[in-house]
Each structure stands twice: as structure tokens, then as C-alpha cells.
Amino acid sequence: MDTISKVAIKTLGSAMPAQIAAIIQARTGSTRFPGKVLHPLAGKPLLEHIIKRIQQVPIIRQTVVALPEGSKEDPLEDLAKKCGATVARGPEEDVLQRFIIAGDQIAAQHIIRICSDCPLLDIPLLAALAETHLKEDADYAFVQEPYPLGVSAEAARLDSLKQIASLTTQAKYREHVTTYFHEHPADFKIARIDPPDYLKGKDFRLTVDTDLDMQVIEILYNELYDPASGLVDLPAAIAYLESRPETARLNANVAQKDWRLQK
């Protein structure tokens, strides 16, 4: 897939119905990096940068931050609303149900699932994912690996998530929203897209699970953040890491948790 131009994204967004929303799963608790979603980057909380990047994709007409119930998440709710996002609340561990609650709250037919530890989401890739998901009338759509961890998302039909919720109470399917699609592909219509060339085959960690991950992201924001747009250009970030392997090595050995190993 070629990189989609900003003009193409705008045309795409105006041509599609307002039926697909981004849902960011977020919470202040994190076993390896508590409070990371409020950690400042270029003077703004990490979550604010994620919302800002989603808002550059016109095909995604609404952004919801899906939070656990409880007062400890109130600072995140305040931040999300300040950034123009809707807030939904649901169970902390049953993330699948939290997504269903969030989708129903705004009457979404399809959702883009986004994690709250990815401040360098690829904007054209989000647009392409949403377009493909709707065009192919898929139950689930994802981006073919390999590509840098933390730049992509997944799309799902809300009714398909409800179907999964009715079929299983198993933790790995309730805590990890799209696991069931991967393990039961014959039961759903699944669409796949390729990442753009500047991401294809790259193995950089651009997600934030640990202090080492945050160090890499902070370097990229310190070097590449554009105050005028409020964004870091992802192709420029990839080029920076390719030209400075010592930065990429900072978090290269951080182990990623694997949902496939969960019972």
C-alpha cells in the first residue's frame, strides 16, 4: 500500500458515512509504567498526543476514551474531554465489555481499537484501515506484520464484538478485545492491509510499556516535534531511528507481553 496523501485522506473522509469511531482503551494503572498516559511529551500528556493524531483522520468522526470505573480515572476523563473526546466507563479487566459500552454510548456501527501507549500512530495508515474495513464490510480488519510496534490499530464491527461477548467469558478474550478473531478466523469476514513502505519490515518499538520505551519516544519528540502542527512526523521518526541505531537499541530488548500465552 502506498502512503496516502493528506488530500486523499480528506476526500476519503468526506465520502464515507459517520459510522466508524476510534475507541482508546486507557487507564492510569500499568504494571510496568504506572501513569504513563499522563506522562508529558513536548509539554502535553501522552494521551493528548494520541487523540490529536486520531483527529487528523476525517473518516474517523468521533473519538471515545474508554476508561475503567472509579474515581482514580477522573484525571484521564478530564483530559479526554478537554481534548474533544467522549468518555465512556466500564469494567477494568473486561475490556471487551468496556468497548461494547463505549460503542453503544455513541451508537457506532464500527470501531477502531487504539491502545493508550502509542503516541506515534500512523495517520495515513489509520485512514486506510478504516476505509478498507468499511469498503469490504468486514467483521475485523488489521495490518499485516511486520511493522514497528505502536504505529497501527485494528478495526471491528461492534455487532461482531457483541457476538464474541455472548460466546465466551474466557479472560484472554475479554481482556484482549480482538484475540477471538485471530483464533477463530473462519467464523468472521476478515480484511488485511499492508503497511506503507516506510513501515514495512521495521522492528522498532514505538509503544510505551517501560521507562526505556519512554526514553526513545522522548528523544523523538525532543528532536522532531512540530509545535505548529502539534505532531511528530512518523516517516521522519523512522528515518531518525535508522540513522541513529544507538537510539533504537535503547528499548530493543524490552519483552512484549504475548496474549497468545494467556489461558
The tens-digit pLDDT sequence of the chain (263 residues) is: 333 333 333 334 334 444 899 999 999 977 677 889 999 999 999 999 999 999 999 999 899 999 999 999 999 999 999 999 999 999 999 999 999 999 999 999 999 999 999 999 999 999 999 999 999 999 999 999 999 999 999 999 999 999 999 999 999 999 999 999 999 999 999 999 999 999 999 999 999 999 999 999 999 999 999 999 999 999 999 999 999 999 999 999 998 765 444 44
Q: Could you report how far apart the first and last alpha carbons of the chain are, in Å?
A: 35
Each domain of the chain, given as residue ranges in start order, spans: 6-208
What pLDDT was estimated at residue 48?
98
Tell which CATH architecture fits domain 6-208. Alpha-Beta Complex (3.90)
What pLDDT was estimated at residue 2?
36
Query: Whole-prediction pTM value?
Result: 0.90
What pLDDT was estimated at residue 255?
83
Count how many Cα atoms sit within 13 Å of the Cα of residue 246 in the half-sphere of its side chain: 0
Spell 159-192 as b/e; 16+ CB within 10 A means b.
ebbbebbeeeeeeebbebbbbbbeeeeeebebbe
Residue in this structure with the C-alpha cell 476478515, named with its chain if needed: 190
What pLDDT was estimated at residue 256?
74
What pLDDT was estimated at residue 257?
63
